[in-house]
Structure 1
Amino acid sequence: MKHFLMALCAAAALALAPPARAQEEPIRAVIEAQIEAFEADDFDTAFTYASPTIQGMFGNARNFGAMVKGGYPMVWRPDNLRFLALEERGGRLYQDVMVRDLEGALHILEYQMQEGENGWKINGVTIRRATEGTA
């Protein structure tokens, strides 16, 4: 009986929490759309994919765009990108993306995602590690 109750509780927990895997497609779509907006220098649209917290930090699309150009040039002008693991940690979802910049260097970016009433938003990006050269 004890094992049955434990299994029942585990099944209930899985049923109540949407699996990270089910969120892969909408999360990837948000990240891709923001990068496409960056490539087009459409910072107004790119800013709409940022969470309210990020929008509050930068205040407007112009400030946000300047930060991306200066701090994340591999996202502003990527050569190639590939989605890696989507992980749940501490109740939050993190999407890893490998980006090759225009000079051929690889970067692993960790996107912290936040779900709101209007879907997924990007709540921060951390450069986890970078490699020199090409692979």
Structure 2
Amino acid sequence: MMKAFPTGVIFSLFLLMVVPGAGMADEPLDTGQSIIKQQIAAFLSDDAAAAYSFASPAIQGKFVNQDVFFDMVKRAYQPVYRPGNFAFGRSKVSDGEIMQEVVIRGPDGKDWTALYQLTKQPDGSWKINAVRMMQAAPGPEI
């Protein structure tokens, strides 16, 4: 006996087979989030070389070497350097750019929003080109 598939499942399978790129819309976003996770893991393990490798050439060009970059992150981006925990928020993918919100609990227990900008490189890879930190507004008292 043949099992019937819901119409939505059949339509989704049809789109994946017929529409070029269908099902791949989240690929840059998934890649961007993976890069952010890997860079945070590098910060947590004090791996300056790995953390620096995720920075765009424009960012790398602003620092003499990976150690100077790493020291800057330690001083200016404590919530990214030593997050208590983090979660991905809103995101936007446009031609050659990913904007990704990351909600981070800093080592001091305060909540922050880090807005990451990743840019697509000529070789097709994605690199972190900027991070803007904003302290989250305090929530209501419970």
> Which TM-score band (shorter chain)?
0.7 to 0.9
Q: Aligned pair count?
A: 121
Between structures 1 and 2, the one with greater helix share: 1
Cα RMSD of the aligned pairs, angstroms, is 2.6
- Amino acid paired to 2:37: E
The Cα offsets for residues 46-69 of structure 1, whole Å up to 9 and x where unpaired, read as 000000000001121111001100
- Selected match of 1:98 from 78, 103, 110: 103
Contact 1:43/1:61 (CA < 8 Å) preserved in 2? yes
How far off its partner does 1:124 sit?
0.6
Report matched runs for 1:1-135 at 5 Å. 21-88=26-93, 92-116=97-121, 117=123, 119-132=125-138
Residue segments in structure 2 that go unaligned for 5+ positions in a row: 1-19
The structure richer in strand per residue is: 1
Give the conservation status (yes or no) of the 8 Å contact 1:82–1:99: yes
* Matching residue of 1:10: none
Whether contact under 8 Å (1:105, 1:134) holds in the other structure is: no
Q: Which amino acid aligns with 1:110?
A: L
Q: Which has the larger radius of gyration?
A: 2
Q: How many angstroms does 1:31 deviate by?
A: 0.3
TM-score (norm 2): 0.74
Identical pairs, percent: 34
| Runs of at least 5 residues in structure 1 that lack an aligned partner in the other structure | 1-14
